Every structure is written in structure tokens, then in C-alpha cells.
Structure 1
Amino acid sequence: MPVLLTPDQFAGFLAAALLITLSPGPDNLMVLSLGAARGRLAGMVFGLGCALGCLSHTVLAVLGVSALIAASPTAFTALKLAGGLYLVWLGIQALRSSGVNAPGSAAARPERLRALFARGLLANAINPKVVLFFLAFLPQFVDAGRGGAAWQIGQLGLLFTLQAAVLFGALGYFAGRIGQWLVRSPRAGVWLDRVAGTVFVALGARLIVAR
């Protein structure tokens, strides 16, 4: 029978997860910069993708694959490089933009939103730091004495994903409002994309060179 989280586990983990998600970090910066550059809907969709990417790390933590990645320098380096290169690629695409994806433009089309969701999902799913974070963070709230550690980790990962989806959605929404205000200038969309691209490239480069 599945072991459910106790009220104390639920409340303690949720409080910690909220603080961690709200603290400045790569995901927050990407959601804010993209939302300001391309509109609140784009920011919210990208943020939802980032949040749901946590599910892949939850599965890895449950299956114990994260431990294997953490123990293998080769696997960790490969994943780190893949995540960094992907972020750099996203940044280059934004830097090359002509501004047609500014708020209120074609960025709101369904196919464009699907692409943004997929990018957010992949950007989070291949981030090795998130893999290690889940490996180190989730077990701290597991009550080993109750058994069913895998069930507990799964519930904790799902809870983290849900609260991240809400917070990232809010970040994308308010960033988009800022973007709509700035885009009154014809060239604002171009410069917002330049800022977003710079953020993505910087985060990717940092991930590549970080030890």
C-alpha cells in the first residue's frame, strides 16, 4: 500500500520548496526575461515547461539513476555540457531575432506556444544541477521509518513540480505585463529579445564552465 506524506512532511517540504523556487536562479531569470521579451502568455507557457521538467528528475530520483549520474564524472560532464549548449543555442536564436516575436505578435500562435513549452521542458530536464538538487533535497524529507521511500520521493517531487508551475506562471504573467508596456516603442521587441538572448547565453556558458 502506498505510503502517503504526513501533514508535517507536506507543510515542511512545501515551505522549503517555495523558498527555493522564489530565490534567484536560472529558471527564474529565463522565465522573467522570456516573458518580458515575448509576452506574458509566452512566459507562462515557458515557465510551465520548466516546472514540468522537474517530473523527469523525480522519476530519476525514484529509480536511483540520479545516484549513478552523480557518481559518474563522465555522465555528469556530458549532461552539463548538453544543458549548457542548449541554453546557449536558445540565446543565439533570441539574439538573431528581428523582433517579430514581441508581445502581441505571432508568438502567441498555438504552434509557437508548443515550441516554447518544449524548450522550457527540455531546458530543465537536461540541467544536471537540478538532477543533483533533487537527489540531495528530496531524501531530506523522507521518513525512512515509515517505509515506502520511493513513494514518498515521488510525492515530494510532484509537490515541488506543482508549486513551481504556479510560481513560474505568476513570474511569466507579470514579466509579460512589463514587456507589453515596453513594447510601445517599435524597437522595444528587438532589444527585449537581445536582453533575453544575453541572459540565456550567459546562463548556458556558466553551466558549461562550472565545476
Structure 2
Amino acid sequence: MTSSLLVGAFLAALAYTLIPGPAFLQLLGIGAGQGRQAGAFFMGGHLAGDVLWSSLALIAIIGAKTVGTTLFDILGVFCGLYLGWIGWSALKARPKENGGSMMTVERPLRRGLIFGLTNPKGYPVALATFTALLASSSDALEFSELPILLAVSLLGFLVADLVLLGVIGAGVVRRFYRRHETIIVRLSGLLFIGFAVQALWHSAPNLLSLRRS
């Protein structure tokens, strides 16, 4: 295996994790409001989804059949409902009398796990990023090299997670978040509801048409 493939897999995993999305917004709220440890638990749970979707993307790139759309439509509906619930909870949240965080996630590890595994955009985004950085050498890829690529990708995920944890735990970020927490929580809630509507809009009609057929 060439070094360019290893570097490409590492950079693809790095880019996949650092691309802003619902998980980033949730991590920002958890990390800035509850500290780095809670953020680390969230990212630890989310890592399961990162590994799953990158594995499917690498399998597709190497030459296996692309996973059918039905699975992602089901995940899209589930994820849409889940994001909608989080968004609605954020819109209803009120400042705590004791000065605590408005949105407290009691089980950040579980929240991250659900986020990572149900994100219907995880596979296409992973496929796009890994394809962009591995396409030039995709003809040389074989299934025997998949474990090495996954190991390098895992390293990329971990490095990206450390970068994100460093950002959300920085004093200036936490102070800014706490100073404008109400506005940030409300805007995040609206964004989550927007993500939810988009996920349901793209997934539900496909499942309904499949049922009619």
C-alpha cells in the first residue's frame, strides 16, 4: 500500500469529522455548557457512527455494491424525528435559576451513539470525502487493505475529535457560549428542526412509495 493512500484515508477521516453539521452543534452545546468530559463522552459515542459509515464508504470504493437506499430512508425518518425532538427541547429550554446550562444532556455517550449511527448523511458524506481523496488510487485498492485503511481512518477521527474538544473547551469559546447561551440554544433549536424537516422530506416519500409498490 502506498503512502498516498494512507495519507488520503487519514485526511478523509479528518475532513469528515470536522465538517460542520448537527453533531458539531450538539458537541458545541455539550462541551461549552457541561465541559470537555461530557463533550468527550459525546464524541466517543459518535465515533461508532464514524467508523460504520467510513467502513461502508471504503467497501463501496473498493468495489462492493453500494448499500441500498431503503436503509438510509429508514434511518432518515428516525433521525428526522430525533433531531426534531432535540430542536423542540431547545426552543422550550429556559435559563436555570442557579446559573446552570440551559440544555443539559444527562447521557452524552448515548446521545453521541444515537447521533452517529442514525445520521442518514453519514454514508454519502463519508463516500464523498473518501472518494475525493482516494479516487486517484482506487484501482489499486483491495479488500485485504481494508483493515489498514480503517485503522488509519480511526486515527484521523481521533485527531479530529481532539481538535474539536480543544476548541469547545477553550475559555474564550465557553465564555462566549455562556454569555449568549439563550440565543445560541434557540438558533440551534431552529437549525435542528430544519435538519429534521430536511431528513423527513427526503426519506419519508421514498418509504411511502416503496410501501405502495
Q: What range is the shorter-chain TM-score in?
A: 0.5 to 0.7
Q: Residue in 2 aligned with 1:183?
A: 178
TM-score (norm. length: structure 2): 0.67
Structure-to-structure mapping, 1:103-122, within 5 angstroms: 112=106, 115-122=107-114
Is residue 161 of structure 2 the alignment partner of residue 169 of structure 1?
A: no
For residues 49 and 207 of structure 1, do their structure 2 counterparts lie closer, same or farther at Cα, with a shift above 3 Å needed? same
What is the one-letter code of the residue matched to 1:97? A
1:119 Cα deviation from its structure 2 partner: 0.9
For residues 40 and 142 of structure 1, do their structure 2 counterparts lie closer, same or farther at Cα, with a shift above 3 Å needed? farther
- Counterpart pick for 2:89 among 90, 93, 96: 93
What is the one-letter code of the residue matched to 2:5? Q
Q: Residue in 1 aligned with 2:146?
A: 150
1:196 Cα deviation from its structure 2 partner: 2.9
Please identify, of 153-162 and 126-135, the stretch whose mean Cα deviation from structure 2 is larger: 153-162
In 1: Cα distance, 2:159 partner to 2:97 partner: 28
Residue by residue over 1:79-99, the C-alpha shift from the partner in whole angstroms, topping out at 9 and shown as x without a partner, is 111112111111222222223
Q: Is the 8 A contact 1:33 1:195 kept in 2?
A: no
Is residue 106 of structure 2 the alignment partner of residue 130 of structure 1?
A: no
Q: Percent identity?
A: 28
Q: Residue in 1 aligned with 2:208?
A: none
Is residue 55 of structure 2 the alignment partner of residue 55 of structure 1?
A: no
Is residue 62 of structure 2 the alignment partner of residue 70 of structure 1?
A: no
Q: What's the secondary structure of 1:148's corresponding residue?
A: helix
Structure-to-structure mapping, 1:4-43, within 5 angstroms: 6-36=2-32, 38-41=33-36, 42-43=38-39
Q: What's the secondary structure of 2:126's corresponding residue?
A: helix
Aligned residues: 195
For residues 33 and 9 of structure 1, do their structure 2 counterparts lie closer, same or farther at Cα, with a shift above 3 Å needed? same
Q: CA RMSD in A?
A: 3.8
In 1: Cα distance, 2:86 partner to 2:97 partner: 14
Q: Residue in 1 aligned with 2:199?
A: 207
Q: Is the 8 A contact 1:51 1:168 kept in 2?
A: no
Q: Is the 8 A contact 1:52 1:165 kept in 2?
A: no
For residues 102 and 196 of structure 1, do their structure 2 counterparts lie closer, same or farther at Cα, with a shift above 3 Å needed? farther
Q: Which runs of 5+ in 2 are unaligned?
A: 204-213
TM-score (norm. length: structure 1): 0.68
In 2: Cα distance, 1:194 partner to 1:106 partner: 10
Q: Is the 8 A contact 1:47 1:168 kept in 2?
A: no
